[in-house]
Structure 1
Amino acid sequence: MIPTESHIAIIGAGPAGLMAAEVLARGGAGVTVYDAMPSAGRKFLMAGRGGLNLTHSEPLPQFMARYREAAPKLQAAIDAFSPEALRAWSEALGEPTFVGTSGRVFPKAFKASPLLRAWLRRLDAGGVRFAFRHRWTGWDGEGRLQFRTPGGEEAVMADATVLALGGASWPRLGSDGGWVELLAAKGITISKLRPANSGFTVAWSNVFRDRFEGQPLKGVALTVGAHTVRGEAMITRGGIEGGAIYALSAELREAVLGLGQATLMIALRPDLDTAALTMRLSGTRGKQSLANFLRKAAQVSPVGIGLMQEAAIASGRTLAMFSPAELAHLVNAIPVQLSGIAPIERAISTAGGIAFDELYESFMLRKLPGVFAAGEMLDWEAPTGGYLLQASFATGAATGRGVLGWLKRL
C-alpha cells in the first residue's frame, strides 16, 4: 500500500516530469510538480512549433538501435511504454496521431499546445499540484529540498523526489544544466553535457555565405567515416545544420572534439554513380556557363554548385580546371571541413548526463535513496525523429513506477 498523505516532489515540468506525475497520481500518491519557469512544458511547446514529432513507427529493434550504447539501459522502459502506447495515450487525451511519409508520428493537430493543455487538465483533475517559479537549489541540512522563489527561500520535505530537469540545450526554456554541480557534489558520476542534434561551424567564403545562407540541400547523402545518412541539410551563415546533420551529430561531434575538425563528405546526386555523371558531363557545353551546364546536365542545384566551387578553391583550383571525370567525382564527394560545434544553447538536445551505473533499474540514484531521475538528465542521446520524446516519456513513466514501488516498501 502507498502510505497515506505521501508527498512526492517532481522537479521539472517537461514530458518526463509530467509523465512521472501522471503515473504517481494514478497510483494514489500526492504529487507536486516544481519548475523554475512560469508555466509547464516550454521546451515541449518549442518542439511542436514545426509539427510535434511524438515518436516513430519503425519496428522496435530498429527503433532501439537509435539509442546506440544506451539502448540496453532504456529497453525495459520503452518496452513498458512503447511507441504504440504513446500513440494510444495521445489519443486518449483527444489528440489522435498519424504516421507521416518518413515514418514519423505526429498528432493530427500537428501542434503541441492542444495536447499539453489536455494533459495539464487531466493532471489537475487527478490532484497534481504545480508550483512554478520555484528554482531548485539543492538540499538543506535536514534533507529538505530547497527552492528559490519570488517570495524568498522555501524548504520542502518530500517522501520521494523525481528529478526531471532536462539537459542544457535551449536554457531560456528552462533546461540549463544547473543541476550538474548539485548532484556532482553528492558524488554522482555525470558525463559532461555536450551538444547533440546540433549544427556545426564551417569557414565559408564571404561570397558563398552571403549568397547561400538559409539555402537547403535536398536529397543529399552525408558521410563521415563509415557512417552515411540520406536527407536534407541547411546552410547557415556560420556553418551547416539540419536533419541529416543531426543524424550524424554524435560522430561529427566526437571527431571535432578529438581532432579539432571533421571532414563531412556531401554527395549531391547519390543515386547517380560516377560513370553516369561523367557521361552527362562529357557533352558539349557550348556557350553555357559552367554553372548552367552543371545545373542542366547533372541537375545540381545552385547551392550545390556553390559547394563544389568552395571545394575547388580550397584545393587551389577553379571548377573550370576540372575534367568531366573530376567534376563527376566531386559532385558526389564534396569535402566540407567542420571546424567546430554550434553552442549547446542552440542544440536540439544534449548528450551526457547521469551515468546509468549510478541508477537502480527503478531509476533511483544508488547514492541518494528516494531520489529518482528521468528524461534528458540521463546519459543517452538519440537523433530527431521522435526518439527524444519517446525516451523522455518512457523514462518518466518508469520513474513513476519506481517511486510507487519505493513507497510501498516504506
Structure 2
Amino acid sequence: MTTETIIGETIDNYENFINPALAKLFRFMGLATVEWEAEGSIIRDINGKEYIDCLGGYGVFSLGHRHPKVVEAVKEQLDKMPLSSKVLFNKPMADLSALLAEITPGELQYSFIGNSGTEAVEGALKLARIHTGRTKVISTINSFHGKTLGALSATGRDLFRDPFKPLLNGFEHVPFNDITAIRAAMDDETAAVIIEPIQGEGGIIVPDDDYLPAVRKLCDDYGALLICDEVQTGLGRTGKMFAVDHYHVVPDILTTAKALGGGVMPIGGFTATPAIWEKYITSPFLHTSTFGGNPLACVAAIAAIRVLQDEKIVERSAKTGAYFLEKLHGLQQAFPDVIQEVRGKGLMIGIELTKEGIGGVLMSEMINKGILVAYTLNNPKVIRIEPPLIMSQELVDRVMKALAEAVEVAHDMIEDL
C-alpha cells in the first residue's frame, strides 16, 4: 500500500466514521498527512517529514515521545500482567500511590488512580461533596476541567456547557485571579473551590502571587476544600513539580493526569489528605474504576516520575522556559502590532496575539516550517507553547527562527486580518 493510499484512506475514515468537521479542520490547517512515528521532541509523518513538537499533546509529552525508560517499563509489565484482576493486591498501583504521596506537597497521602484528567476531576468533586456534606462548588470563568458531565459543570466556558444544560446543580463561576469575587461567592454551603493554579485553556493565565494563598485562607475560613487541578500544570510543566509549589500552597485535593503517563500510557488520579479520605475508607467501593490503576499505566507513571527526579527534568523545565520566555519577550517587543503579550512559567507559555485572525496565519506558517503549535481552547488569540521538558536549547533556537519568520509574515498582513 502506498503512502498516498494510506493517507487517503485515513482521511476518508475520519470523514465517514469519526467526524467530517475534524477532517476539514486538519486539511485547512495544512495537516493533511498521517503521524507515523515519534521520538523525543520530534514527530515524523508517513512521508518522513519531521515536526518539532511544541504542543506536546497539550501537556502529555513532558518527557518527549517514547522515553526509553518508560517504554521499557511498559514492555516488561506487558509480559507479566497488563490488566489487574481487581481482587488481588496490585503492586504497581500501590507503588505509584506511595510515590505520589512522596512528591505531592504537604500531607496529601491517599490516591485514587483512574484513566484521565476528567476522571480525576470527577473523583475529586465527589470526594469534596461526600466529605463536607455540601453541594456548592466554586470554579472560575474560562477554566477547563474536562467535558464529562461533572467536570463540564466545573468548566468555565459556556460554549462547551450550554449545549448540555441542565448540568449538575450547585456550580458557580467567578472571574479568575479575583479574590474579591471568590469571597463574595463563598458561603456555608460551599463544598469546594476548584481551580487551576495557572489557567491553561483559558490562555495561559498566571495569577498574582497572593491569589492562591488567599483562596486557601478563604477555604479554611469557610470549611470548604481547595481542589487544585494540576492535570496540565503538574509534574514539572511550570518549572516546579506542581504549580502550587510556586505559591507555597497545599490543596486538600490535587488532580494529576496528562504527563503522569510518561507520554506512553493514559492515566489520571486525585490525591487527598487522610482526614478527607475518611468516607472512602469507611466505604471503599463508593468510587471505583474497572481499568483505573491498571499495571501497565501505573508502571509507566512510576517510570515517568523517576525520570523526572533522576534526570532533573523539573529544573530543566525552569531553565529552558526562562530562555524561551526571554527570546519570546524580545520578539514581542520587535512586533507589538502582532504579539500583545507573552506570559507563562517554565515551559507552559502563552503568546497572546493582537487579533484573533493572526493565529491561523502563524499556525499555518509554523506547520509549513515543521513546528507543531495550537491555540488554547478557550482563547483563540493565544498560541500555546508546551513542548517536551527535555527540549534542547538548539531546538528552541530553531523554533524561534521559524516563529520570527512567521511573525514577519503576519506583520505584513496585519491590515487584512
Measured against the shorter chain, the TM-score band is under 0.3
Higher relative contact order (CA 8 A, sep 6+): 1
TM-score by length of 1: 0.22
Q: Which has the larger radius of gyration?
A: 1
Higher strand share: 1
Q: Which TM-score applies when normalising by structure 2?
A: 0.22
Q: Which has the higher helix share?
A: 2
